[in-house]
Amino acid sequence: MNLIQTVCGGSVRDRSGRYKAMNIALSSVTLLIAGMRFVSKFLFSIRQGFGPDDWAMLAAGLIGIPCIIFNMSGLSGHGLGKDVWTLTPEAVASFAQWVLAMEILYVVIISIVKISLSLCYLDLFPGATFRRVVWGTIVFHVASGLSFVVGSLLQCVPLSFTWEQYVDGTNPPAGHCINLNAFAWANAAINVAVDIWLIGIPLYQLYKLDTQWRRKLSAAVMFLTGVIATVVSILRLQSLVHFANSTNPTWDHWNVAWWSTMEVNISIICTCLPSVRLILAHLCPRMVGSSLGLSPISEDSWIGEKITSPNPLDVERLELCNSRSEDGGSKTSKSTQRVEGALDV
């Protein structure tokens, strides 16, 4: 029916505008939140500089900024959200090239964001066993990311078959591809599982801590913001149903591009959100402090720039790893020493 409408000059379906609007709007919010994170590290943190987790997030941002343009000029500019039969074979081939490129960049950015969050955990909880678990998680992030990047480059043999198969339907080039649906689902399922793991390990540490329940609740809420990114990752799974075997790839891939863009941006936002809270704590200490049931002005207030309390859940320590010492090491205290046994039981 759509083909007949196209030939007869009827209306043509086009969802590219919606994708462009979402891409620009959400990316703008992401850049704002990430910028606030980096600014807060120089204005409000004890160290007044970047830690390893910040450098990792900066790397993700530097890769992600060009992706904003690639999504529009590469994907939308070559047919995303349009019916494949309204496009030339050359345009569809170019679209397939951009899909491959964005597929790789998606894996790289998501892996780096997870590495950044894991590096942050290393500053929050100094327990020896916990640190080994987190370092093992980081190794898994790297290995998983590299595996899927290599898998993406080898998904079709030769690689050019990925896009050349769309150029000439009457005389297709020689080549073959792996089960791309299974490959995409494996990557998505691992992402969801790792997200749940990254939420669970700090919550377990909080459960073991001997501190006020209000502080535990405040910290737990911060970690649980990651559930939003996990939900988006799960929603992205349904977009992969027709990922590789669609007869209308430029139209059907719109859902994949939509949810992938959402996942990348929301993952960065959730990882950086505590910095917004830290800035608000300095600008509106009474409002933010009272919302947690804590005294807004006190010697051990979590909103102060100088932390004198030995409690490991003070926000300069908890809010995005802001309790680093001047020489880059983690501060220690009687209370933080108790954290070391949290996983050593």
Judge whether 103 lies within some domain.
yes
Q: Hey, which residues does 330 pair with through a beta bridge?
A: 324
Provide the number of structural domains found in the chain: 1
**Residue, of 202 and 105, whose pLDDT is higher:** 105
Judge whether 144 lies within some domain.
yes
pLDDT at 40: 83
Judge whether 229 lies within some domain.
yes
The label of the residue with tokens 């896009």 reads 163
d(CA 302, CA 316): 7
pLDDT at 64: 94
Q: Hey, which residues does 324 pair with through a beta bridge?
A: 330
Identify the domain containing residue 133 by its residue range.
Answer: 15-337
**What's the pTM value of the predicted model, to 2 decimals?**
0.80
Judge whether 158 lies within some domain.
yes
Judge whether 4 lies within some domain.
no
> Would you say residue 197 has pLDDT above 50?
yes
- At 137, is the pLDDT very low, low, confident or very high (cuts 50, 70, 90)? very high
Question: Where are the alpha helices (H) located in 44-88, listed in sequence order?
Answer: 52-69
> Would you say residue 277 has pLDDT above 60?
yes
pLDDT at 42: 79
Q: Where residue 219 sits, what CATH number does that domain have?
A: 1.20.1070
Judge whether 230 lies within some domain.
yes
> Would you say residue 39 has pLDDT above 90?
no
Is-contact 319 45, C-beta < 8 A? no
